[in-house]
Amino acid sequence: MKIPAQEQHVKTQQIDFLDELAELALGSRLKRISEKMLANAAQVYQAFDMNIQPKWFTLLALLDSKGSVSIVEASQLLGLSQPALSQFCKQLSEEGLVDVTVDPEDSRRKELSLSTKGNAAILRMRPIWEAVEAAAIELCEDNANDFYRSLIRFESAFDSLDLFERTKKILDSQAIDKQAADKQMINHTISILDFSAELAHYFESINTQWIEQMFVLEDIDKQVLQDPQRHIIDKGGRIWFAKHPTLGVVGACALLNKGNGNVELTKMGVLDSVRGMKVGERLLQHVIQEALNMRVETLFLLTNAKCEAAIHLYEKNGFAHDADIMQRFGQSYQRCNVAMRYVKQ
């Protein structure tokens, strides 16, 4: 088909601004091509009348290869967060493609496997996957390119020293006082909000995200997160939120009144989108100061040894490991194996 001269002119005048940004927009460029690839994959499935979403592919392929895996194992093997994986499982279960069974010895462990319908769908998809793989190889090797292996090398380099660390290293080499700049930026951009009914849903969503990424929501978690007014505020506790000027509410933390002058610093979390911006430290310092203003007798917290970054933050801001706190309060959560008391005055 011949393109009209006017339209030809328009096409030749198009400029891709990402070309001007070059490597600075590498993440955006990778995201754009990823979205194009996924959209094409969806077209392929639609062409064969298959009600399959491309985002399910890796999980379906994993189950086809392994037979059955737990949600935790699948999360580790695929590099997906447990909340995202749980969402995929729910969707695939609703489509009748995946069976989800609960371990009779551990109700928190869920095992995934392909259903009869799922196995039949895999048989239909195999020739499609082979064709897509051949097309992808062709794309990667077009113009004598070696894109796939270059991408593997790029990912390996990223895992060795990621973009943040490389940026920090460059800034440090330029003698920029990053720590002072960060502190000044956070103090001027992050505001701390008191609890209100309108903000209650953030308390649940923020804490659910980090807990489910590392552990399993326990009954006590669900009770407190779903009704913080009743379980924290009405019992003499306090809740605060960290708000970013453009990203909105990004962090939450609470003080839970345990009676007799004992107050637990609990449910402190920040969204993944602001990790590395020291929002957690800004929020923690505010909550500690509020606790001091309340003149509590004992300020303590309970956590798990897996939370290494958080424990380091607590230690940096005046908390010390305490066996007595563990003995008195450590049974509150199944995941608790670290107890700390605030000692810095």
pLDDT in tens, 14-31: 688 888 888 888 889 888
Residue type, 26: L
Q: CA 110 from chain center: how many Å?
A: 20
Q: What percent of the chain has pLDDT over 90?
A: 46
Give the C-alpha separation, 215 to 202, whole Å.
Answer: 19
- Inform me whether the pLDDT recorded for 265 exceeds 80: yes
Band the pLDDT of 183: cuts 50, 70, 90: low
338 pairs with which residues across the strands? Answer: 303
Band the pLDDT of 185: cuts 50, 70, 90: low
Provide DSSP, 237-284. Answer: -EEEEEEETTTEEEEEEEEEEEETTEEEEEEEEE-GGGTTTTHHHHHH
Please tell me the predicted confidence (pLDDT) of residue 3. 41
Please tell me the predicted confidence (pLDDT) of residue 2. 45
Domain locations along the chain: 48-157, 182-342
Cα separations in angstroms, 306 against 142, 199, 213, 303, 336: 45, 29, 12, 9, 10
Give the C-alpha separation, 94 to 265, whole Å.
Answer: 39
CATH topology of domain 48-157: Arc Repressor Mutant, subunit A (1.10.10)
Q: In the chain, which residue ranges form alpha helices assigned H by DSSP?
A: 5-13, 17-21, 26-47, 57-66, 71-78, 82-94, 116-141, 147-160, 163-173, 178-189, 200-214, 219-226, 228-231, 279-293, 308-316, 323-329
Band the pLDDT of 188: cuts 50, 70, 90: low
Please tell me the predicted confidence (pLDDT) of residue 1. 40
Q: Over the chain, what is the mean pLDDT?
A: 87
Query: Measured at the alpha carbon of residue 340, what is the angle toward residues 273 and 283, in degrees to the nearest 5?
Result: 35
Token pair 């552990």 in the structure block, residue: 215
Each residue's pLDDT tens digit, 46-85? 888 888 888 888 899 999 999 988 888 888 898 888 888 8
Kindly give the pairing relationship between strand 319-321 and strand 338-342: antiparallel
Instruction: Give the max Cα distance, the chain.
Output: 84
Q: In 14-67, which residue ranges form alpha helices assigned H by DSSP?
A: 17-21, 26-47, 57-66
Please tell me the predicted confidence (pLDDT) of residue 276. 79
Look at domain 182-342 and name its CATH class.
alpha beta
Q: Check if the beta carbon of residue 71 is closer than 8 Å to that of residue 112.
A: yes
- What mean pLDDT comes out for the span 258-279? 92
Please tell me the predicted confidence (pLDDT) of residue 53. 87
Band the pLDDT of 178: cuts 50, 70, 90: low
- Inform me whether the pLDDT recorded for 275 exceeds 70: yes
Stronger pLDDT, 81 or 1, i.e. the higher one: 81
Cα separations in angstroms, 108 against 70, 82, 96, 218, 335: 10, 13, 22, 9, 12
pTM of the model: 0.49
- What mean pLDDT comes out for the span 100-122? 86
- What mean pLDDT comes out for the span 103-131? 87
Each residue's pLDDT tens digit, 296-341? 999 999 999 999 999 999 999 999 999 999 999 999 899 999 999 9
